[in-house]
A and B are shown apart, each in its own frame.
Chain A
Amino acid sequence: MIPFGQVLDLDANEFHDLQADPNKVVKVQGLVRELLEGNPARQLGIKQQIIEDIGQSALPGLISATYVLVDNLKNERQRELLADIIYAVSLDNPSAALLLLKAGIIDNPVWAGQQIIAQVVQRLGLGGLAIEETSFLLKEAVKHAEIDDREVAVILFECLLPLGIGVKEALKVCTDWLKTKYKIDAPVSLISALLNAAPEETENTLSLLLRHIERDNKDRSQTFSSIIEFTTLNTVQGAIRSGSQRLSIERTGRAKPVEFLFMGCIARYIASHEADIEVLDQFINAGNFNSGILRYWWQALSTAVKLKSEGAKRNFEHCLSHLVDQEACLLACIQLLYIVEQDASTKAWARQLLQDVKQSNPALYQNAVDEKAKHKRKDNNHEDDDGTGLSGIR
């Protein structure tokens, strides 16, 4: 709805492209260049001029600046400065999101420019879009996926999926991409958005992705763990289910996808969602997963301890004080031994806990020391695949 007194304020953004007022576009681009070349005081002045004096109608010029001035952006700070201004003039503008998506992403001929706008769109959200607008964007996402313009397709899906739109289409696109031999970055990004929007529907596709990573190129796991960020408990549980079914848990070797899943994605999740650690612990212990999964779970907890997770520490303490599950206790002790060796900031805590175990259950302690030594020998001999299933533990 438009306040009565503002009916004449709709201007350049009405038709969702950048050519509604070419002169203003050129003027704003000139200001952006001054902004990028100016000293901090001048930058502040220009920023204010764009946001306060020109306001919403600066948006087309700012988007166009991401086409023509990206080569002038010297560093991340300048990119953020431009993104901040675009965000500020887009707030409270009902036309902004669509203009940003159409002109800033779909039509943007410069990849670096698309990234700046994508960052703004993520901050703004797409809550205000009408059904026909989201339908249009979904069609565009599928079209760009088909013509192999993957960056645009991923950005559009990333915007639509949190609204619950495009799950079916994104899953199909992701599966199609995985069947091809192209770079894996695009499906990984897409699956990350899918996992958070529709974890259950995504499990099969995630499984495909995990298999693909394992089968075709181990190094890609790095990409996987750095891009995928779980934000809900459901997604983590889905990923564990998928990983358990699809990944070679028993097969040993370094840089295994399952390690990246647990040490990368799941460790980061539990470090920031401590309340979910107990739930996940029960989920893994109660689920009929491959027994090897438990080792990776303790590995994730150990990584989370290094990430300063108090919840992960409590899980170690709880496990070793109650001694309910022998296997879990053994794995916990092995991880503590590694922490003592590797992590200066938490080694005192780990040493104290091991001391307690040594006193209360010397056999468990000795067993852990032996297992770790066995593992270390294998490491030294570069025996990456001996069938014991332990070489992956760090």
Chain B
Amino acid sequence: MSHIGIDLGTTTTLLAQTVGGQIDQSTMEVRIVPIDQKVDTGNNTQSQGFPYLPSLAYFPPNEVPVVGHHALALALKSSMGTAALVRAVKRHMGRNMTLPSPINKTPVEISALYLQYLLHQVKRDNLVKANDQITVTVPASFSSNQRRDTLEAFKIAAAREGIAIEPATLKRLFISEPVAALLSFLAEDLKSAESVRKVDIGKNPRVLVYDMGGGTLDLTLVQLGWRTLSQPKNLGNVEFQIRELNRYNQFGGEDFDLQVGRFLLEQLMAQNPSLETLSLTPSEADDLRLRLLLESERLKKLLNDEIEFDGDEASVSFTSAAFPVRGVDYYIIDWPVTATLYQQWLEPYLIYRPDPRNALYPIEQILTRSGLTRNDVDYLLLVGGMMRFLPLQQAIKAFWGREKGVLIYGKPDQAVAQGAAVYSHLKSQHPDFVLHEPSSDAYYVRRENGFGLLLGRGHNDISKPQQYKLNGKGSELELRIFAGDQPPVNGDLTQIYPTLLYQGRFRVPLGKIYPDGTKVWLQMSYPVDSEHKMPETSIWIDTEDNFIRTLRYEELSEEK
């Protein structure tokens, strides 16, 4: 029996699988499944296994789309430039948009391509059998719209591969990325003898999971404990009380690369002055932008390797790949970059400043949100692909103020996928093992003057029935929904207005036409048997006793 975990990341997508054994006996292993991808070998292409699938899709004209490493290779060679290449589409999930021509696809359709690619291999290699569990990770801070879109992408991918998924599996398909990483860490830690374990669950510790990937910085504060002291002290017996999350923060490796890219661009122009007066078409600019980001990432890796050996004394002499501009190849040649200089470029992100696009400020935000200080937190677990980047690790440790309790996952970029596989296993072995997280956002509805609270952040929250009136006769009620901070204790909703983000115009179908002025009551709640954090809506008409139906979140139609 094996179970599958998928980390659908902004820049990379990983597939993990549990192998043999039982969690209870600590004999279970989790491996990262190599993902077969085409690579160019001069005259032809061959298939090769990679530990991850770059979350890239290329749309060649009149041909089927290509994903992963091969997508990037084809796009860089294409005469059309990179306009047909999509990257970081996860940042667009939940948004009512179609990517521009020549792509003309929604974020859901593109995410489905990545998932389908993985599921194809899962099916081909018989990695799962009927009733085995699959888990897909999402940022803890993903909104209901983002979760809805990810679920939709998964359903499309599974249907295309002919993989039947039980409704019960779908209801527990997701796990949040930081919690998955923590599961993975604990699964390993609990294999050790109790005396050498890094985390002492018996002391009910608070763990702050700091997960920075390619596109998202996701923080979750968890309190751990044993569910029952009479049961064996294994992962299935760990209680995860998820205390706090931060709000959705699109800040990750991509932003670091973009910041370094600005200095690369400056250097490219300094070494090739004729470029300074040039103006580019939007597609030429897109192409140059992608190449700058790729080179920026390469420089980051080169320097990171040097820092590992030489610390702050590290330096590299950087020669870039070609930047083709209108038929001419331009280069950066022998550019000396020191670790100190590099860190100076990244100062806006690595030195504390009160800005969400700063690696340290969100730590303070989540602690403030939960009413704690750094000293109240026992462990800081650092995970995510960006934790391979040593200057970031150093900055976080310095800000945290103490070495003790700072945990760094061995392969931080694989922790999330592995944790997802572990969760699949747990769902199968321990059906009563349930993770209930609060939502990162409360939901509000626009009223004639101001906003009304629709649903709080707590998993068990149920809103009070809210009354609406049909404006004109009709068979549906239109709601304009916003996500924002939890309402303040004093009840003054105007305080949270600046935190509100528009989620869309939703139509609630009523089943038949009702006259103008008909009173409608709505009540929202998170379904008890689901971990999606997509609220259900119950509807009453005329009087609260006249119940009509309960709608799933996906059944509310968003105006396109």
Contact = CB atoms under 8 A, between A and B. Distances in A.
Contacts of A45: none
A26 B289 CA distance: 27
Given A4-B276, A27-B355, 14 more contacts: A3-B279, A4-B275, A4-B277, A8-B262, A15-B92, A15-B95, A18-B502, A19-B94, A27-B356, A68-B498, A68-B500, A71-B450, A71-B494, A110-B446
A83 B269 CA distance: 37
Given A7-B289, A68-B482, A17 B498 contact: no
Contacts of B390: none
Interface in A1-55: 1-5, 7-8, 10, 15-27, 29-30, 32-33
B449 interface: yes
A355 to B, nearest CB: 60
A72 to B, nearest CB: 7
Nearest to A33: B498
B294 interface: no
B25 interface: no
Nearest to A63: B502
A22 B265 CA distance: 27
Q: Which 10 A-B pairs have the closest CB atoms?
A: A23-B356, A1-B279, A109-B480, A29-B498, A68-B500, A4-B278, A7-B285, A30-B498, A2-B285, A33-B498
Interface of A: 1-5, 7-8, 10, 15-27, 29-30, 32-33, 64-65, 67-69, 71-72, 107, 109-110, 132
> Which residue, of A10, A24, A68, A110, has the highest number of chain B Cβ atoms within 10 A?
A68
Interface stretch (B9-17, B189-197, B231-239, B245-253): B245-253
Given A8-B265, A8-B289, A68-B482, A26 B258 contact: no
A282 B451 CA distance: 58
Contacts of B451: 68
Nearest to B258: A8
Given A7-B285, A8-B261, A2 B279 contact: yes
A83 to B, nearest CB: 19
Contacts of A15: 92, 95, 97, 99-100
Given A29-B500, A68-B498, A23 B92 contact: no
A134 to B, nearest CB: 15
Given A22-B501, A29-B499, A10 B96 contact: no
Nearest to A95: B282
Given A1-B280, A8-B265, A109-B480, A26 B275 contact: no
Contact of A22 (B248, B280, B449, B498): B248
Contacts of B285: 2, 7, 10
Nearest to A132: B101
A197 to B, nearest CB: 29
A11 B178 CA distance: 27
A69 B498 contact: yes
B359 interface: no
A67 B261 CA distance: 34
Contacts of B292: 7-8
B269 A71 contact: no
B331 interface: no
B46 interface: no
B28 interface: no
Contacts of B100: 15
Contacts of B356: 23-24, 26-27
A65 to B, nearest CB: 8
B457 to A, nearest CB: 16
A69 B497 contact: yes
B407 interface: no
5 contacts: A4-B278, A8-B289, A25-B501, A27-B356, A33-B498
A85 to B, nearest CB: 15
Contacts of A23: 247, 249-251, 356-357
Contacts of B449: 71
B91 A20 contact: yes
A23 B505 CA distance: 21
B242 interface: no
A385 B488 CA distance: 65
B280 A7 contact: yes
Interface string B79-111: 000000000000110111101110000000000
A7 B265 contact: yes
B206 to A, nearest CB: 25
> Which residue, of B91, B101, B266, has the highest number of chain A Cβ atoms within 10 A?
B91
Contacts of B41: none
Given A17-B97, A23-B356, A68 B497 contact: yes
Contacts of B48: none
Interface in B206-255: 247-251
Interface string B424-460: 0000000000000000000000100111000000000
Contacts of B446: 109-110
Interface in B257-293: 258, 261-262, 265-266, 269, 275-282, 285, 288-289, 292
Contacts of A20: 91, 250
B502 A4 contact: no
A247 B280 CA distance: 57
A268 to B, nearest CB: 35
A289 to B, nearest CB: 43
A71 B449 CA distance: 7
A68 B450 CA distance: 8
A15 B96 CA distance: 11
Interface in B110-148: none
A30 B500 CA distance: 10
A99 to B, nearest CB: 12
Nearest to A11: B258
B499 A26 contact: yes
A16 B95 CA distance: 11
B505 A4 contact: no
A7 to B, nearest CB: 4
Contact of A21 (B250, B282, B289, B500): B250
Contacts of B288: 4, 7
A5 B276 CA distance: 7
Contacts of A64: 501-502
A15 B99 CA distance: 8
Interface string B475-506: 00000101000000000001001111110010
A2 B287 CA distance: 12
A20 B97 CA distance: 11
A11 B378 CA distance: 38
Contact of B501 (A19, A32, A109): A19
> Which residue, of A3, A7, A16, has the highest number of chain B Cβ atoms within 10 A?
A7
A3 B278 CA distance: 6
Contacts of A18: 501-502
> Which residue, of A2, A21, A107, has the highest number of chain B Cβ atoms within 10 A?
A2
Contacts of A26: 247, 356, 498-499, 501
> Which residue, of A5, A17, A64, A65, has the highest number of chain B Cβ atoms within 10 A?
A5
A280 B450 CA distance: 50
